[in-house]
């Protein structure tokens, strides 16, 4: 880490003095001699009585300044240097729970000061806001949403239940939590996303941090915290757990950004003029997940090749060999949006299903700068062998093809920008840091293709599919899959107007659903066939 120069206070050395009872008190940066005077005094007399320190030692600093200097720089066991990853994770979690309670947060981080944490958070806040990214990982948001509605904050030992409630328009109860209200964050934004599972009576949402099993449903309403608590205009999506149950609805206060796969891809493989639901799925991994550095691989499939198919099915590719999908959508293609927007904004999309129909909406809601973190790498796992799926999966896919892409929101933006850049300069799309590996028993005749992106970009953060082949084999197979990969990046102008590398557009023929972070849903579903399932079992997302 690069250490930058500390803040030398203006006039610190000489003439910036304040008067305290006739004694000129110095301000500004501390000198080594002052530090030594302060440290020796505290060693002899202990902490406290900071004002008397000035009187007894001749140190011309006010008590507050002495206390601050000691607490932030001189006291023993202070850690120096940047925060570790673990510390950063803790800070994020604590901030989600406590808000700007720096001292309380510091109490949880031995050797760290409130000032350090505050500075870190403010920098993070600044950076993420500039990037238009959510401040909290979606799983954190959801976690605290759930706990808030169970009056969970600061009482974690007393409240072990976390439940997922059907949507409600009731306002949330006030909370000190910085996390968003359960009601739609922006009442003016047409941004609700109601999601209905099938065969579900209740749904449990358990956080990886929790080892508790819900026993009673919450009394307060719930809706998903799909927005940044710091800035409502930013969206994010939770990682949540939705076991198999019945008729669960939840509303996302904000909708996910929408990105558009290449229409040529759709056209070539799946074009069907009679298909009313001609859409392709895109599912992001959980951006900023605190709980995993694995690349999430999950996808929501929407049938777009079959004129009659109206079920969208969610799968988790971490459990790609599992016997059944985690849940399914039942969208009615009655109201798909068209747009000719040329705004360089993200296009939001959402369903608003009711008992009889489900409509799909889009809305351009915010712009994002192109600035991106540097620690993002792209990883692609590809396979195109239907035989890699279980019989049930094959059965579930009957009647329509599936194609999935899994990436974080950030990666979406990055990839989109790159694709657009490639388009703008009329050259083949980049394949940056692309790695691919099919699963075992790969052949070239299948129908499945999955792309995932590593969130943290470490070299270890490889394809989440467990059964990777050797690099040589991958290389060979990439030759056969490269075309498919390329098509994902080879966006065409007729797939929608895209400006500044940041927007995408849905058309009637190319309906895109961008759904994030349903990994745990699938994982939990797979591992739990009852309503009492724990995140502790969700190894894929820890």
Partner DNA sequence: AATATGATCAACCGCAAGAGC
Partner DNA sequence: AGCTCTTGCGGTTGATCATAT
Residue 114, C-beta contacts closer than 8 angstroms, at least 6 positions apart: 102, 103, 105, 106
Quickly count: other Cβ atoms within 10 Å of residue 487's Cβ: 22
Q: How many C-alpha atoms does 337 have within 13 Å on its Cβ side? A: 21
Q: Does 48 bind DNA (CB under 7 A)?
A: yes
Q: How far is the CB of 38 from DNA (least distance, A)?
A: 11
Phi and psi at 66, nearest 5°, equal -65, -45
Q: How far is the CB of 413 from DNA (least distance, A)?
A: 16
CB-based contacts of 199-202 (< 8 A; 24+ apart in sequence):
199/244, 199/245, 199/246, 200/242, 200/243, 200/244, 200/245, 200/246, 200/247, 200/248, 200/327, 201/245, 201/246, 201/247, 201/248, 202/163, 202/164, 202/245, 202/246, 202/248, 202/531
Q: How far is the CB of 411 from DNA (least distance, A)?
A: 19
Q: Does 32 bind DNA (CB under 7 A)?
A: no
Please list the residues that pair with 282 across neighbouring strands. Answer: 514
Q: Taking a C-beta distance cutoff of 8 angstroms, is the pair 388, 460 a contact?
A: no
Of residues 157, 151, 158, 89, the one with CA closest to residue 117: 89
User: Of the listed pieces 47-55, 324-332, 426-434, 485-493, which binds DNA according to CB under 7 A?
Assistant: 47-55
User: Of the listed pieces 6-14, 86-94, 291-299, 490-498, which binds DNA according to CB under 7 A?
Assistant: 6-14
Q: How far is the CB of 105 from DNA (least distance, A)?
A: 7
Which of 23, 29, 154, 537 binds DNA (CB under 7 A)? It is 29
Q: How far is the CB of 23 from DNA (least distance, A)?
A: 13
Q: Does 52 bind DNA (CB under 7 A)?
A: yes
Q: Does 114 bind DNA (CB under 7 A)?
A: yes
Residues 219-248 that bind DNA (CB under 7 A): none
Which of 2, 32, 273, 425 binds DNA (CB under 7 A)? It is 2
SS3 content of the chain, % helix, strand, coil (to 5): 30, 15, 60
Q: Taking a C-beta distance cutoff of 8 angstroms, is the pair 504, 368 a contact?
A: no
How many residues bind DNA, per CB under 7 A?
49
Q: How far is the CB of 459 from DNA (least distance, A)?
A: 22
Q: Does 17 bind DNA (CB under 7 A)?
A: no
Q: For residues 52 and 323, which CB has a smaller minimum distance to DNA in the complex?
A: 52
Q: For residues 104 and 430, which CB has a smaller minimum distance to DNA in the complex?
A: 104
Instruction: Provide the token pair at 130.
Output: 């500039």
Which of 23, 39, 60, 63 binds DNA (CB under 7 A)? It is 63
Burial class (CB in 10 A: 0-12, 13-18, 19+), 325: buried
Q: Does 28 bind DNA (CB under 7 A)?
A: yes
User: Of the listed pieces 112-120, 304-312, 379-387, 443-451, which binds DNA according to CB under 7 A?
Assistant: 112-120
Q: For residues 117 and 463, which CB has a smaller minimum distance to DNA in the complex?
A: 117
Which of 23, 57, 73, 434 binds DNA (CB under 7 A)? It is 73
Query: What Å distances lie between residue 111 and 43, 116, 426, 452, CA to CA?
Result: 18, 10, 53, 38
Of residues 389, 323, 329, 387, the one with CA closest to residue 527: 323
DSSP string, 317-351: GGGTTSSS-SEEE---TT---------SEEEEEEE
Which of 40, 122, 466, 532 binds DNA (CB under 7 A)? It is 122
Residues 86-105 that bind DNA (CB under 7 A): 100-104
User: Of the listed pieces 20-28, 255-263, 461-469, 528-536, which binds DNA according to CB under 7 A?
Assistant: 20-28
Q: Taking a C-beta distance cutoff of 8 angstroms, is the pair 328, 312 a contact?
A: yes
Q: For residues 98 and 405, which CB has a smaller minimum distance to DNA in the complex?
A: 98
Residues 164-223 that bind DNA (CB under 7 A): none
Phi and psi at 104, nearest 5°, equal -70, -35
Q: How far is the CB of 401 from DNA (least distance, A)?
A: 42
Q: Does 392 bind DNA (CB under 7 A)?
A: no
Residues 126-155 that bind DNA (CB under 7 A): 126-127, 130
User: Of the listed pieces 114-122, 217-225, 237-245, 319-327, which binds DNA according to CB under 7 A?
Assistant: 114-122
Look up residue 430 and give its DSSP letter. P
Q: For residues 55 and 268, which CB has a smaller minimum distance to DNA in the complex?
A: 55
Query: What Å distances lie between residue 467 and 388, 434, 448, 464, 478, CA to CA?
Result: 11, 18, 16, 9, 16
Q: Taking a C-beta distance cutoff of 8 angstroms, is the pair 346, 409 a contact?
A: no
Sites of contact with DNA (CB under 7 A):
1-10, 12, 18, 26-30, 47-52, 63-65, 67-69, 72-73, 81-82, 100-104, 114-116, 118-120, 122-123, 126-127, 130
């Amino acid at each position: 880490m690069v250490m930058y120069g500390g803040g030398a206070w203006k006039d610190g050395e000489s003439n910036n003095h304040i008067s305290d009872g006739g004694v000129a008190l110095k301000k500004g940066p501390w000198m080594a001699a002052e530090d030594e005077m302060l440290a020796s005094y505290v060693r002899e007399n202990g902490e406290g009585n900071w004002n008397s320190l000035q009187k007894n030692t001749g140190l011309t600093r006010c008590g507050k300044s002495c206390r601050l200097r000691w607490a932030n720089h001189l006291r023993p066991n202070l850690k120096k240097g940047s925060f570790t990853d673990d510390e950063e994770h803790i800070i994020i979690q604590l901030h989600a729970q406590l808000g700007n309670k720096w001292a309380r947060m510091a109490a949880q981080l031995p050797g760290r000061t409130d000032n350090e944490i505050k500075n870190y958070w403010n920098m993070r806040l600044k950076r993420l806001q500039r990037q238009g990214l959510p401040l909290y990982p979606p799983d954190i948001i959801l976690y605290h949403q759930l706990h808030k509605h169970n009056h969970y904050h600061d009482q974690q030992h007393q409240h072990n239940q976390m439940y997922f409630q059907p949507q409600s328009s009731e306002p949330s109860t006030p909370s000190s939590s910085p996390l968003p209200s359960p009601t739609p964050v922006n009442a003016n934004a047409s941004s609700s996303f109601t999601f209905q599972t099938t065969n579900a009576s209740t749904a449990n949402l358990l956080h990886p941090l929790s080892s508790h099993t819900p026993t009673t449903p919450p009394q307060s309403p719930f809706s998903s915290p799909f927005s940044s608590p710091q800035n409502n205009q930013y969206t994010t999506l939770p990682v949540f757990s939705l076991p198999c149950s019945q008729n669960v609805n939840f509303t996302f206060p904000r909708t996910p950004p929408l990105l558009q796969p290449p229409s040529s891809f759709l056209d070539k493989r799946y074009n069907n003029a009679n298909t009313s639901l001609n859409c392709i799925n895109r599912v992001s991994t959980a951006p900023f997940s605190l709980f995993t550095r694995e690349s999430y691989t999950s996808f929501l499939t929407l049938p777009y090749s079959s004129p009659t198919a109206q079920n969208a099915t969610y799968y988790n590719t971490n459990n790609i060999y599992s016997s059944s999908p985690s849940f399914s959508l039942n969208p009615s293609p009655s109201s798909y949006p068209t747009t000719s927007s040329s705004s360089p904004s993200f296009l939001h999309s959402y369903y608003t299903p009711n008992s009889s129909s489900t409509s799909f909406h889009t809305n351009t809601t915010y712009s994002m700068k192109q600035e991106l973190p540097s620690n993002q790498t792209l990883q692609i796992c590809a396979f195109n062998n239907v035989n890699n799926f279980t019989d049930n999966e094959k059965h579930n896919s009957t009647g329509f093809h599936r194609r999935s892409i899994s990436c974080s929101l950030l990666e979406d933006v990055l990839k989109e920008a790159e694709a657009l850049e490639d388009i703008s300069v009329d050259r083949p799309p980049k394949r940056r840091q692309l790695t691919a590996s099919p699963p075992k028993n790969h052949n070239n005749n299948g129908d499945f293709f999955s792309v995932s992106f590593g969130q943290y970009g470490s070299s270890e953060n490889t394809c989440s599919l467990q059964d990777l082949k050797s690099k040589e084999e991958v290389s060979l197979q990439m030759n056969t899959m490269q075309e498919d990969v390329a098509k994902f990046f080879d966006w065409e102008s007729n797939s929608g107007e895209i400006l500044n590398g940041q927007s995408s557009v849905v058309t009637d023929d190319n309906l895109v659903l961008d759904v994030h972070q349903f990994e745990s849903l699938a994982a939990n579903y797979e591992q739990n066939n009852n309503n009492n399932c724990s995140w502790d079992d969700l190894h894929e997302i820890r």
